[in-house]
Structure formats: structure tokens, C-alpha cells
Amino acid sequence: MDNQDIRKAGLKVTLPRIKILGLLENNSQRHVSAEDVYKMLLDNGEEIGLATVYRVLTQFETAGLVTRHNFEGGHAVFELDRGGHHDHMVCVVCGKVEEFIDTTIEKRQREIAKEHGFEMVDHSLIIYGHCGNPKCKVGY
Amino acid sequence: MDNQDIRKAGLKVTLPRIKILGLLENNSQRHVSAEDVYKMLLDNGEEIGLATVYRVLTQFETAGLVTRHNFEGGHAVFELDRGGHHDHMVCVVCGKVEEFIDTTIEKRQREIAKEHGFEMVDHSLIIYGHCGNPKCKVGY
DNA sequence: CTTGCAATGAAAAAGATTCTCATCATCATT
DNA sequence: AATGATGATGAGAATCTTTTTCATTGCAAG
């Protein structure tokens, strides 16, 4: 995942795109909003506009470099697409996101889509719950 | 599902709430945005404010009368909660929504959550694809 | 190097949702 | 049925997220 990926997507290799891709690669939390990306880059002393962040993230999504998720919260979050598809588990208290993949579910989904006459092109499975952290348990 | 449900939710039985609940019950498309509800009620000659629609839908959600979904599209859609949980299949071309339920997937989800130390409280499974309509097929 | 065309940033605009506040309606109590 | 406390409403302002506009800048092909 480097600048060649940007070029292969038919996009010019510009500083903003390099910075955004770099941040997505190296940031500790894999799921970030456009606003997150913008602020982090500003904090790193980069000069960038919020509109550019939105534009580039959308272009990366179209190019298949990142995936956009519509979790709860009123804003989209983006994640670098590292090849392997996976689903998400979100803690309703602290917001922690864990990833998982289950072949049983994946297979059933394709079968169900076919049963309904759908040709599946994508899917989104999000499990909401209380994560292992005691502070996030019910009745804390 | 009637006015008693509104009262049981600890809410006063007011005209806007009756109208919104009635619309959710009788409307042909089960998944509607706040804007949809607002416009439909206006078209029916009702006097109602958009802020009230948002407020009431959120209250109904809290009360467990309706469910809010974050499909793609930048706005939430609401659906009357008719007791039975189900998942969704959305056509990426025409937007048609079909509902389904699969016990295999439901069971696996609970197991997976537990394996990750999560206590599942909710989940969202959306399959995106091309529906049976020839116009929605790939390459049309 | 030059030059076309894509990319950028700032600000405005658009869209979705929430908040404020003065007025009004519900409903438990008279 | 009248009253009054309290919650609900509608209009518009405000907020938040995302997109668009447009003048300027920078990549990259020749």
C-alpha cells in the first residue's frame, strides 16, 4: 500500500493524498471519520483543507483503497482496505471497534441473497454490545 | 399498536404522535426517513413541524416502538417495530428493501460476540445487491 | 521547461438533525 | 366540566456533516 496505489487508481500523486493514505496506514485506531483525519493531520503540522479530506476519502473509496462504514453517530467512518473482508463489533459504551470474520455467516449471506433473487455485491454486519472492559458492563 | 402504546411509553397522546404512528402503520413502504414522514403528513393535509417529526421518531425509538437504521444515503430511516427482529437486503439500484431472518446467522452472532468478550445488545446486518428486477441487474 | 488539466483550499451552500422559546394541549385533579 | 401544572408543539435559529464553487496551484506528459 503506497503511492503506486494512488497512481493505479488513476489519481495524481499529491501531498494531501500521500498524507491521508499514510495516516490511514499508521494510525492506531483503524476507523476514523473525515473530521478525525483532518484534525490529526493539522495536529501533525500538515496544511490541508477539510473539503480535500472528504474528496480524497471518497476517491479512495471509489478506488477500493478504503471502505466507508455507516455506524451509529451521524457521521461516516473510513478504514484502510487491507484486502481481507471482515465485519465489526462495536462497544455501545466506549466505542471500541473489534473486527471479525466468520465463514458460516459469510456463506449463509450469499445463500440468503440468492434465495431472495438478489445478487449480493456487499454487506454490512455490525454487532453492538458491551465490551470486556468492566467500565462498559451493564449496571456499572 | 395503537394510542395505548404511546401512553405506555410515558408520552402524552397528542395529535402529531397519533398521526406519525398511524402513518408508520399504514404506509406502503415500511422504511421511511423523517423527511418522508413529514412530507407525507403535509400531503395528507396535516399540520405538523419537521422538528416534531424528528423528536417523536426519536422518542418512539427510545420507547422501542420504532427502529432506526443507518443505511447508506446520509440520512436515517425508521421502521415500525412489529415485534419480530429481522435483517435487511437493500437493492443498490432501486433502493428496494426486503426483510429476512436467519436463525443460523442469529445464533452465530451471539456466539461470536461471546467469543470476543462482548455482551451483544443489538446488531445490524444489511446485504447490498442487485434485486430481481431486470432493470436493476448488472450491465443493464 | 512548458503547459494542460487535475487537484487544492477557503468559503459558501446544501442537507440532516437538534435546540430554543413562546405558545398551546393534555390530563390528573378539582 | 373547569383548572392548572407540565409536557408538547411549531417556527426558526443553530449545529453538524458533507458537497459544491471557484480562483489558484501543482503534477506530469511531452
Q: What angle do CA A110, B124, B66 make, to 5 degrees?
A: 130
Segment B116-139 shows an average pLDDT of 91
User: For position A125, what pLDDT does the model report?
Assistant: 96
For residue B54, pLDDT over 90 is answered with yes
Could you state, in order of their start, the residue ranges of all structural domains in chain A? 3-80, 87-136
User: For position B50, what pLDDT does the model report?
Assistant: 98
| Arch. (CATH architecture) of A3-80 | Orthogonal Bundle (1.10)
C-alpha cell at B51: 422538528
A124–B126: do the CB atoms touch at under 8 Å? yes
For residue B95, pLDDT over 90 is answered with no
User: What is the tens place of the pLDDT at every residue in A26-46?
Assistant: 999 999 999 999 999 999 999
Instruction: Work out the pLDDT band at A95, boundaries 50, 70, 90.
Output: confident
* C-beta pairs of A62-68 under 8 Å, 24+ apart in sequence: A62/A9, A63/A5, A63/A8, A63/A9, A63/A10, A63/A11, A64/A9, A65/A1, A65/A5, A65/A6, A65/A9, A65/A21, A66/A24
For residue A7, pLDDT over 80 is answered with yes
Looking at every residue in chain B, the average pLDDT score rounds to 94
- Collect all residues with Cβ–Cβ distance below 8 Å to B123 and sequence separation of at least 6: A125, A126, A127, A128, B109
Contact predicate A13/A3, CB 8 Å: yes
| Numbered residues of chain A with Cβ closer than 8 Å to any chain B Cβ | 70-72, 89, 91-92, 98, 100, 102, 104-105, 108-109, 112-113, 116-132, 137-138
A3-80 against A87-136: fold identical: no
Asked whether the CA dihedral A91, A95, A100, A104 is positive or negative, the reply is positive
Chain A interface, best mutation among B118, B120, B123, B126, by max A CB count within 10 A? B118
pLDDT-above-90 percentage for chain B? 84
Contact predicate A33/A76, CB 8 Å: yes
CATH superfamily of B87-136: Ferric-uptake regulator, C-terminal dimerisarion domain (3.30.1490.190)
